[in-house]
Amino acid sequence: MNELERLYTEIQPKIYAFFYIKTSDKSAAEDLTHDVFYEAIKGIHSFSGKSTVQTWIFSIAKNVLRKHYRSKKYVSSLHKRLTLDVPEHPSSPEDVYMVKEGHVNLLQRISSLDEVQQEIVSLRLYGDLSFKEIGELINKSENYVRVTFHRAKLRLQKEMGLNHE
């Protein structure tokens, strides 16, 4: 396995999870993940090495997500989900797992956080990025990211009744 295949195998599930959390749509997550790696290959010459490859790819993912949110396809999909109050039937083991009560509850709680906390928690939990890498992505210090994540985690634990005090 060459280096590119190894990187893809390591990073792709994290990018997919990031998009799934952000969109709650398996098909969109797959499409957006594909778009990220297409953009990465197309723009590999712009990788300067100032960050890790994973951080660079997540910065591409954030830009792809922004474009997705601005797209008519997203607005139409969101409108459809909001007007049809019918849950989708899980079609695969992955879908069954993703709709489990605890996971859905966690996603709802994460969405109640402010935007910066949502971003940090999503990148940490689902992107599996280090605090330093998250800081680079959102232009904040590593310490700021650590403290914000810790506070968000405590809030989520409290809201979900998971305090161990």
* 66-104: pLDDT as tens digits: 888 777 665 565 545 444 433 445 555 555 554 455 555
Give 159-163 contacts, CB < 8 A, sequence gap 24+: 159/109, 159/112, 160/105, 160/106, 160/109
CATH code of 1-84, in short, is 1.10.1740.10
CATH code of 100-165, in short, is 1.10.10.10
Q: pLDDT band at 157, cuts 50/70/90?
A: confident
Task: Determine which of 3-7, 86-90, 108-112, 154-158 has the lowest per-residue pLDDT on average.
Answer: 86-90
Ranges of each domain in the chain? 1-84, 100-165
- What pLDDT, on the 0 to 100 scale, is given for residue 87? 45
Cβ–Cβ < 8 Å for 97, 20: no
Hey, do 1-84 and 100-165 end up sharing a CATH topology, with the first three levels equal?
no
